[in-house]
Structure 1
Amino acid sequence: MNVEKVFHMKGGTGEKSYAKNSSLQRRALDMMRHITVDTILDMYLGTNSQSLAIADLGCSSGPNTLSVIKEIINAIKGASSMALRSVPEFRVYLNDLPSNDFNSIFTALPDLFEELGKGRAEQCSSMIFIYAVPGSFYGRLFPTNSLHFIHSSYSLHWLSRIPPALYDEEKKSINKGKVYISETSPPKVSMAYLSQFQQDFSYFLRLRSEELVSGGRMVFTLLGRSGPNHIDRGNSFLWELLSQSLSIMVSQGEIEGEKLDSYDAHFYAPSREEIEDEVSRDGSFAIDCLEMFEIGREDKDIATHGRTITTTVRAIQEPLIQHHFGDGVADELFKIYGKLIDEEIGKQEIRPITFIVVLRKPNSSSAN
C-alpha cells in the first residue's frame, strides 16, 4: 500500500498531525526542548550570518505547529541582545505532505508575529518570512546549501512505504494476523522492517546533507526501542494490542481475516545502535547528541491515562483503518482497544521510548 497515496486520498495530515497534538508526545517535546534551543544557539553564535534558514519537516497543522519556531526565534533574539549583535532575518520553511492544512497555519501567523514582536507585529513580520513546502521528506525539498537548521518531531519513525518483503510471491502477507513485529512473527518480518528503515533513513540523511550548509545542524525526535529485542512494553506493544483488537473483531465477524492479514504498519522503532550505524555508514553527519527518554504515566488515574493512549493511537491509525477496513469499524475497534489498554496498564506500565538526535554537518575544512 502506498502510504502517501492514502494520505492524499483522505485529505488530511493524519499520521503527522497527531504528533503535535498528543499530550504524551507534547510532554516529551517539553522535556527535550532545551536541547533543540541549545543546538541552534550554538550554531548561530558560531556564524556571522545575518539571515537564518530554518526548516520544520513534518510540521503538521495542529495548535503546536509554530511553538518550536517561536521558541527558537525568541532564543536567538535573546542571544543576539546578549552578544550585542543585530537580530538576524529568519526564513522559516514548514514542510509536510501536500494534503496538510497549511492554510490553518498561516491564519495563526498574525498571532505569532504579535507574540514575537510584543505588540509590534508589523515590525516582527518584516524580519520573519514563513513559507510552505509541500512534499515528502524522502525526496529533495530545498536547494543545495540553503539551510542552517532542520527540525523534525515524531516523523522519522514513519517509513516511506510498507516493506515489500512482508509479502510473498503471491502478494500475501508473511505476518498473518499481525500489523507489526510480534513474538509470533517470522524472523523475515523484523528483517524487512529494518531493511526499509535503513533504506529510508540513509536516503533522508543524504538529502538533508545536500540541503544544509557546512556547520549546519539537524535535531529530530522519533519513537524507538531500548535494545536489540523488537518486543517490549513500549511502542511495539501498542501495535500488538491493535493486532489483538483487530483479531477480536475478526472472531466476531465484524471484519474479514484476509483484511487483517493485508494490513501492516508503515512504522519502525529503531534502536540506538541502528540509528548510530546508519549515521556512521552515511558519513554526512557527526552525532552531537543521542539521548533516550521513557515517557511514563503522568496521570495517577489509570483510566485517564488509558484514554490518553487510546486517543493518541486512534488519531494515528483511524484514517488508514477506515481506508483499509471501511467506514464504521473505528468506533468498535477502539472501544476494544481501550479495554485492552486499561487491562494492561493495570498490570504493568507501558513506557514508549523516544530518541532525540542532534546531528552536525562538518565544516568543509574538517570534512576529511
Structure 2
Amino acid sequence: MDLVKFFHMNGGVGDASYLNNSGLQRMGIMKTRRIIEEAISNLCKSNIIKYPKTLVMADLGCSLGPNTLLVGSMVIDEVAKTSQEMGLNPPEVQINLNDLPTNDFNTIFCALHEREKKLNTEKITDVHYSPPSCYFTGVPGSYFGRLFPAESLNFVHSSYSLHWLSQLPKLREINKGNVYLASTTPESVSKAYYEQFQADFLQFLRCRSEEMMVGGRMVLTFAGRTTEDPRGEESYYYLWRPLAMALQEMVSEGLVDEVKLDSFNLPWFTASPTEIMKLVEIEGSFTIDHIEIFDVNWEAWKTKKYDNDNDNDASTDDNGVGHAVAKSVRAGIETLVANHLVKQ
C-alpha cells in the first residue's frame, strides 16, 4: 500500500469532505493556541538584537479547510502583537503548507484567495495594529523526508498528523477481527506498529533538525494515549472498534471479502508521552520545553461548546454525536478503505 500515492483526507466542500468534518481537530488546535502564541513570541524576542526580516514557518500535514489557515492566522497575529510590544516593524511571514501530493491543495488556494479579498475590503479598526506581509506556499511531499533547504525554518507546526505512519508495518501474524491494535491483537503486531512509529518519528526529527534554524521552535500535536499499553481500549474503542464491527457485518453480508478485511490495518499509532520523550532523547537534536495531555470531547464538538469558536462545521447537524463521529472517520480514512476493501 503506497500511502503517498493515494492517501488524503476527503477533498472538496461536500458533506463528506474533511473541510466540513474536522471540528474535532479544530478543538485540538484551539487548545494549543496559547502554546503556539508563546512559541512565536519567544522566537521573536530571542532575536531582539538581530530582529528577523522574515519569519518562516511550516505547517506539516496541513490538509484542507478552515483549520489549514487557523494556525497561520495565529502566527500572523502574534508576530504583529509582539512586534508592536517591542516597538519594531513586524517581519514578513512565509507560511509553507505541506501535505501529501494527493491533498486537495486547490481548495486551500481558493480559500487563500478569498482570505486576501476579505482582508483587502475590511478596514483595520485598531490604528496601532500593523499586520505583517504574509506569503503562502504549497509544499507537496511526505514530512518523513526532507522538504525544505537546510536551516531555513524558524517555526514548525503539525497537528493531528504524526500519528499516521509512513507505511503499514510488516506483520508476521494476522490481526484477526481488528483494523487497529486491540486487546485481542497479537503481541508481535503491537511490536511491529511501535517499531514503525519509532522509525518514522526519528526520521521526522532528523529531517526537521536539518531544516530548522538554531533557536527555532516546534509545536506538535498527536492523537495519543495516557496508558503504556498500545493494545488498551483507550486507543481503539471510540473510533476503530465500531468501524471493525461494521466491516465484519459487511463480510457476513458478502459485501466485503473476509481475506481482505483480515489484511486491512490502519497506518496509525497513538504514542504515549513516555514513548515520545524517549524518542526525542534518542534522536538528540531537540529539547522538550512543554508536554501536555488534553482531551477533546465529541459532545462539546457536536454542540459547538469549544473556545467560543463559531465555524459552520457541517458535521454538527441534528443527527447525534454518533453520526458526526462516523462522518469524521469517513472524511479521514475513506481513501484507505476504498483502496483496500472495495471490490473492483
TM-score of the pair, normalised by structure 1: 0.79
Identity %: 42
Q: Distance in 1 between matches of 2:343 and 2:67?
A: 29
Change in CA separation of 1:314 and 1:86 when aligned onto 2, cut-off 3 Å = same
Over 3 Å counting, the alpha-carbon distance change for 1:183 and 1:33 in structure 2 is same
- Letter of the 1:189 partner, please give it: V
Aligned to 2:95: 92
Moved more, 29-38 or 105-114: 105-114
Q: Distance in 2 between matches of 1:284 and 1:114?
A: 41
Matches within 5 A, 1:155-304: 155-164=161-170, 166=171, 168=172, 173-237=173-237, 238-296=239-297, 297-298=299-300, 299=302, 304=320
1:78 is aligned, of 74, 78, 81, to 81
Runs of 5+ unmatched residues, structure 2: 125-129, 304-316
Cα distance in 2 for residues equivalent to 1:5 and 1:272: 31
Query: Higher helix fraction: Structure 1 or Structure 2?
Result: 1
Q: How far 1:283 sits from its partner (Å)?
A: 0.5
Shift of 1:223: 0.3
State the match for 1:308 in structure 2: 324
Alignment length (residue pairs): 316
Would you say the 8 A contact 1:19–1:25 is kept in 2? Answer: no
Call closer, same or farther: CA 1:188–1:19 in 2, change over 3 Å: farther
1:41–1:76 CA contact under 8 A, matched in 2: yes
Deviates more, 1:224-233 or 1:304-313: 224-233
Q: Distance in 2 between matches of 1:252 and 1:21?
A: 29
Which runs of at least 4 in structure 1 moved beyond 3 Å after TM superposition? 10-13, 17-21, 113-121, 231-235, 299-303
Match of 1:344 in 2: none
- Structure 1 pair 125–136 and aligned structure 2 pair: CA distance change class (3 A): farther
2:145 pairs with 1:139 = yes
Q: 1:108-139 CA deviation, whole Å, 9 max, x = no partner?
A: 22443455677479xx9992221111111011
State the partner residue of 2:334.
318
CA distance in 2, matches of 1:314, 1:126: 38
Between the aligned partners of 2:274 and 2:41, the Cα distance in structure 1 is 28
Equivalent position SS for 1:226: coil
Which of the pair is proportionally richer in strand?
Answer: 1
Find the counterpart in structure 2 of residue 339 from structure 1.
Answer: none
Q: For the Cα contact (< 8 Å) 1:74–1:116, is it kept in 2?
A: no
Asked if the contact 1:230/1:236 (under 8 Å) is kept, the reply is no
- The higher-RCO structure (CA 8 Å, 6+ apart) is 2
- Alpha-carbon deviation of 1:174? 2.2
SS at match of 2:293: strand
**Does the 8 Å CA contact 1:20/1:26 hold for their aligned counterparts?**
no
Residues 55-83 of structure 1 show CA distances to partners (whole Å, capped at 9, x for unaligned) of 11111121331111011101110111111
Provide the C-alpha distance between the structure 1 equivalents of 2:181 and 2:233, rounded to a whole number of angstroms: 13
For the 8 Å contact 1:20–1:64, the answer to whether it is kept is no
- Distance in structure 2 (CA, Å) of the matches to 1:125 and 1:77: 5
Give the secondary structure class of the aligned counterpart of 2:33.
helix
240 and 126 in structure 1: CA distance in 2 versus 1, 3 angstrom threshold? closer
CA deviation after TM superposition for structure 1 residue 107, in Å: 2.3
Which amino acid is 1:224 matched to? Answer: G
> Comparing 211-220 with 31-40, which one deviates more in the overlay?
31-40
What amino acid maps onto 1:315 in structure 2? A
1:152 aligns with 2:146: no
TM superposition score normalised by structure 2: 0.84
Counterpart-to-counterpart distance in 2, 1:302 and 1:139: 42
Deviation at 1:250, TM superposition (A): 1.4
Q: Which runs of 5+ in 1 are unaligned?
A: 329-368
C-alpha contact 2:5 2:101 (8 A) present in aligned 1: no
Q: Aligned equivalents of 1:105 and 1:303: distance in 2?
A: 28
Structure 1: which amino acid aligns with 2:178?
K
Q: Secondary structure at the match of 1:55?
A: strand
1:228-266 residue CA offsets vs partner (Å, 9 max, x unmatched): 122444442122222222112212222111010111110
Query: Which residue in 2 is equivalent to 1:363?
Result: none
